[in-house]
Structure 1
């Protein structure tokens, strides 16, 4: 069980410098005191005693630890692509350079590889002209890579660059690396703030209600599902099969199913299924309506597939490819029963994660980047900016890394999927 001590944020030291953001001294947009909390449990019943446990609220502090004019910042993007990476880079640059007056913001190339001088390319300075239009592009102008580097080597390099504000943007593996970097910095007694921004279209970061890129991915996935529905309806006994990302959690598959309203079967890692149940259910659907649409998350049905075990460079378990497996299983089954099905298979994974951020994610990126800049200049470290009860918060890396947020089949999202698809009647 979490305690308030678990959620305590590490600081590099006392803050003695007045923030240059003078306009925040009065009015509704004001400085945030350190004892301002966002409640962990937002609901309670009747006369129940309210639990005071809460995350430290993110936002600008009236006093800073660092003098912005004497700072050098570095930004790195790691792992797979995600809508909004360039938005984070751009907004971090403008907040640090334009509002606070940090003179130098470096872009680290190709993920943590760029923090190993023997393997990576030299970083480059971000400028107004570099970032001006990047929010209209998918991907990341900094490049990315998977896999860890030695924390000692990375800290050596950050120290050699004179960096004291470091912003790693990425998923759980990236934040694990950020935590190791922060621990190495603490061991050496260095004054470098490490403030992460959580990134994953799978939306599976612990203690972050919604990560940037997720809604953009859901929107694009909905479009693909609708195309699969058109294909399925256009041929006798047509089946549109769509595989979406979601290694450990089915949030994209679930949300896109509800948004589309055209899906008949949704398969996610959190809800095991068997072919003995699924295939006859598809058959009943085809007999009744002559078409079916199936959405499967990439991590679903792994117990059904023979595949190589192990881990990839990011530390993720290797998955069998559930999409082609299901396509073949469906095709073979209906051929065997003498009622062939026309299966049209869609795998839009890389397309979905490569698009630019939509309006909702652009707004979230701006909030995350702004709050990351505030936290770092206040000397807060070993944390990422999360979203909890629709408020930006500081999440200690030590309580989040190595955990996976999963859908809970007993909660509203999965209930809505079952109501939309009707598959609870298997």
Structure 2
């Protein structure tokens, strides 16, 4: 069978890891606090906005004071305890504030077109700023996706270098990319497979759309360069993801000649054993649910390519759920550091794990396996949810003392020399 050409089990060891004694001691300083669960930061036009998962977007003012720039709590599905739904992502238009528009990812109660036994509706919406706040009455729904289960909702919305919006979509939830709302894909050894089926739905993919255009009966344009122009869902840019939690573009030496290229770097939360970070290319298939990281999922042997010969692309970073050094339970994508305060980290990819335990991770972009090390951080809260960068390129992190939607211990911190 062609689908099993190149069958393999674990494709070598995991990403090389270590704890470095060469890195500077790193601490944190509070930028803003009092959030329930901050999950995203948007910076533009000299302003900083923080998305709090229960549904409010805050603007950070002088001295860390905050005011509400948009309140969506009454538009979001009912939330409690540990949640993967809510207000999950935010992006300012690339020309903000001249073009005063905001793009928001949130979880709404079931809308028309979402089956009754599904959990909720994925909504990507546009809001226009009027004065100091974004006008609720200006909401324009850009995209809706039925979400069968309550988890694996992803949430990143990021503008790329050409001004297109990239939107992360999880595999639909549950375990193993199977069950309610999951398609049967080409790989029969594992049930389900939204990540491997680009015709059944948009789940398990990173989408690319043009929010400044309209076309083909859609409230957005589809870039002509997208890799699947004849698909029922030509918005798809790359696929084979389980739950891409935080991604962004960075200038990375991605060629043998050392040329700088804008690379989309996406973290993808694993199932039982491995977490991963991918250098994403147009039309790339990142393996889920055939593979988890560089390893077979659910079997000792599995294919390394699809039936038509397309490769299942391995991650550039992988780490296990158990072990010394770089390990954890749920990866949180970060960014390449471009600031000045921590010069020894310049050009390194800094990311982390939801179960932070007072540490972040640092990977050196180099080839197809990025050496990765632990970065201890003084004063880092136990739970990490997202990263951002301020206008000077200094790294911001969203953290809290609680792993669920309770209390107001959430804060945004800046990484600084300890």
Greater relative contact order, per chain length (Cα 8 Å cut-off, separation 6+): 1
* Structure with a larger share of its residues in strand: 2
Fold match by TM threshold 0.5:
no
* Structure with a larger share of its residues in helix: 1
TM-score norm. by structure 2 comes to 0.23
Rg bigger for which structure? 1
